[in-house]
Structure 1
Amino acid sequence: MPNVLVRNVPEDVHAALRRKAEQHHQSLQQYLATELRRLAERQELSDVLDGIEKRHGGRVGLHQAVQDLAAERARV
């Protein structure tokens, strides 16, 4: 398994990470590995929007979207 080395971490950041690890009953290494995995798996907003566009296709302009929403609200 590859390793990651982070140098020059400020003391206050290191201390905060150690506290968080302790709160989760984990070593600092376990805590950071979990957080790095979570960070790596998190989708960026642009990725989510690209996925939506590919599934549904097409685009609606802002003006049309506002008109459609107003019409939908008027029906209720």
Structure 2
Amino acid sequence: MTVLTIRDVPDDQLQTLKVRAAQAGQSLQSYVKEVLARETAKPTLGEMMERLDREATADISTRDVLEAIDEMRAGR
């Protein structure tokens, strides 16, 4: 596992992290690792746009859609 060092963290931000870690019953290290895990688990807007673009692209023609509608109506 890699070691990560963060320098020049403003005092007020560090104090907030320490308080939140204590409230969660965790060490500062564990709390920050959890924050990083949550953040990296969420896709960025760019990643979501790429995914939506991939999923929205389909090789379906208008004819295919109309035939599917007709089949559904016939099955009623």
Q: Same fold (TM over 0.5)?
A: yes
Task: State yes or no: 1:24 paired with 2:24.
Answer: yes
| Ranges in structure 1 where 5+ consecutive residues have no aligned partner | 59-76
Query: What CA distance in whole angstroms lies between the structure 2 residues aligned with 1:10 and 1:50?
Result: 35
**TM-score normalised over the length of structure 2:** 0.69
**TM-score normalised over the length of structure 1:** 0.69
Aligned residues with identical type, % of pairs: 28
Query: What CA distance in whole angstroms lies between the structure 2 residues aligned with 1:55 and 1:14?
Result: 41
Number of matched residues?
58
Q: CA deviation at 1:35?
A: 0.7
Which residue number in structure 1 is paired with residue 71 of structure 2? none
Q: CA deviation at 1:25?
A: 0.8
Task: State yes or no: 1:46 paired with 2:49.
Answer: no
Which residue number in structure 1 is paired with residue 2 of structure 2? 2
* Deviates most, 42-51 or 28-37: 42-51
**SS of aligned partner of 1:25:** coil
Q: CA deviation at 1:8?
A: 1.4
Which residue number in structure 1 is paired with residue 66 of structure 2? none
Higher relative contact order (CA closer than 8 Å, sequence separation 6+): 2
Which structure is larger by alpha-carbon Rg, 1 or 2?
2
Query: What CA distance in whole angstroms lies between the structure 2 residues aligned with 1:30 and 1:39?
Result: 14
